[in-house]
Structure 1
């Protein structure tokens, strides 16, 4: 048996494995994630103080959201600012919340299955004097109470690179043009990170990654699940790799709890590809009507924030081990170390 001294030493050593940014309830607030990864620049996406119809919403987004090409790419008739439909189904309050009562509603008409027939897609640029190498986007979203998940659909994330038209809709990257990292819901509301990134570095061999020759890369499908009729908070972090290495990193926090931690990503092969801003992209699909929405339905978005840094990933490109696996390795090493001391 361990002596009291050895036990105290063990408890202290194990406590060192718990990140200082994690709260007592196991959550990591958005601002703490930003601090942990040295994301010192931040901005909040403005929302109107009153509801707006479709046309006024279009005007507001054009004037206030720094849209690429000055317009909504697809779905300008599918977005409008409305009152909160779920005022009694709130996520835990974010101390940095900018929510003022209005939310952005996106409509998916019955039978829609890509961004040309339903949902919306546009690119909100975050201009900076220094190119970002890391970026975080956080937002809160909710689904209609009778939302039918069907086979899945896209949700907003981050994109970057000189090309503003690639890295979606089956347009795969070559490492010098663009990247994108969005979220997806799948059947029964299962969540994942969905990325358009080069795959020549062997990321498809990772057991947590599903690759498709014609579309994006699914990372950790089913790591979390979206509810209906309930606000949730998602926080997506991407850190650029060195162009010559596959040391990029992506993380997803669901309701402030780390759900996905993926190392070994090659977002780019050229340093002209950097995070550029919010990729607001949401629709059912999928490229055929087997993904189509079964009824007119909606999602709702609010409290959108971004954080950035001119520092990219400092991880090793050869390390593909997941963070959770390293935690168990360290835990085992500590236990073995103190057991060894006890029996000397």
Structure 2
């Protein structure tokens, strides 16, 4: 074999091995971190209007304070608009509506926290969340918007919307879309000295959250996108060794391990933070037309260990 061919084959093998090292299914990721406890959110077997959807979620999902914080009227279970070979096309999916002109402030989208088995007393320090997400084919990303993630702490309704994380109250780690569908992790946590000088982080003003690795992946409209997020709390609590890892369609896009989610042992991971809306806090973020996102296959794995 010619020398040039040998070089090409070696480079090809190297590229394949690199890709394989950063590609994994959610269950494989959970196994690699010894996250042995798992759960999933049940979905109805038939489509449901917004009023029926709210009743179903209150009875079937472990909602914090037994309520949807806002946007119950914008939630419904509908037929899968983008059926594919990976799912049961007869199983309804959760639809979120964003009315024309809506942006944060409860004007569109929805928000709630699904606590994971709060009666068990488990104090999770590591959690892996995965879900599938689809955007309408004509979805206009405008300037950006929030998507679900993970949250924790004794003050469940804080650490978002400009309510800061002080290390003992709470944290949140959501996904966010930006212009043209660029993705990032968007978190409320402590900011150790020097973190905001790191080019992987954009520390927002006015006490809002921190953007992590903006543009490291991009969402596609008109089809299903899989999001898988791992959060591991810093341990001990005075050390910035917490981690967030995000896989997009089973390919690693983000991995940061210098985070400080807490400075108190009172802060643990609570569960699934379903939070989605356009914004941003002013009308420049608003959607010009009514659009929708869709969600299915929500699963979580967890451990009471941080490592």
Structure 2 Cα separation of the partners of residues 216 and 205 of structure 1: 15
Tell me which residue corresponds to 2:79: 83
Question: Which region of structure 1 is more displaced relative to structure 2, 192-201 or 169-178?
Answer: 192-201
Deviation per CA, 1:218-267: give whole Å up to 9, x if none.
00000000000010101000000021100000000000000000110000
Deviation at 1:167, TM superposition (A): 0.6
Q: What secondary structure is seen at the aligned counterpart in 1 of 2:220?
A: coil
Q: Name the counterpart of 2:196.
A: 204
1:5-154 aligned within 5 A: 27-88=23-84, 93=86, 101-127=91-117, 128-154=120-146
1:191 equivalent to 2:172? Answer: no
Per-residue Cα deviation, 1:154-182 (whole angstroms, up to 9, x for no partner)? 00000000001111101111000000000
Alpha-carbon distance in structure 2 between the residues aligned to 1:37 and 1:173: 26
1:322 aligns with none
Aligned partner (choices 274, 277, 281) of residue 283 of structure 1: 277
Deviations 1:280-311 (A, max 9, x none): 00000000000001100000000000000011
1:288-307 map, 5 Å: 288-307=282-301
Deviates more, 1:200-209 or 1:298-307: 200-209
Q: Is the 8 A contact 2:228 2:246 kept in 1?
A: yes
1:137·1:278 contact (CA, 8 Å) conserved in 2?
A: yes
Deviation of 1:200 after TM superposition, in Å, equals: 3.1
Distance in 2 (alpha carbons) for counterparts of 1:140 and 1:98:
13
Question: Pairwise CA RMSD of aligned residues?
Answer: 2.1
Q: Which residue of 2 aligns with 1:256?
A: 250
Aligned residues of 1:238 and 1:249 also touching (Cα < 8 A): yes
Quote the Cα distance in structure 2 between the aligned partners of 1:219 and 1:181.
10
Question: Residues 167-207 of structure 1, C-alpha deviation per residue, up to 9 Å, x if partnerless?
Answer: 11011110000000000000000000000001134321211
In structure 2, stretches of 5+ residues that fail to align are 1-5
CA distance in 1, matches of 2:194, 2:115: 31
In the other structure, the counterpart of 1:326 is none
Give the distance between the partners of 2:213 and 2:32, measured in 1 at CA.
Answer: 22
Contact 2:192–2:240, Cα closer than 8 Å, also in 1: no
Aligned to 1:165: 157
Correspondence for 1:236: 229
The C-alpha deviation readout for 1:32-71, integer Å capped at 9, x for no partner, is 0001111100001000011001111000110111100101
Runs of 4 or more, structure 1, over 3 Å off, are 97-100
Q: Distance in 1 between matches of 2:38 and 2:20?
A: 22
SS at match of 2:58: helix
CA distance in 1, matches of 2:152, 2:198: 24
Question: Do 2:105 and 2:281's aligned partners in 1 also have CA atoms closer than 8 Å?
Answer: no
In the alignment, which of 207, 213, 218 is matched to residue 205 of structure 2? 213
The structure having more radius of gyration, on CA atoms, is: 1
Tell me how far 1:100 sits from its aligned partner.
6.1
TM-score w.r.t. length of structure 1: 0.81
Unaligned residue ranges in structure 1 (runs of 5+)? 1-6, 314-344
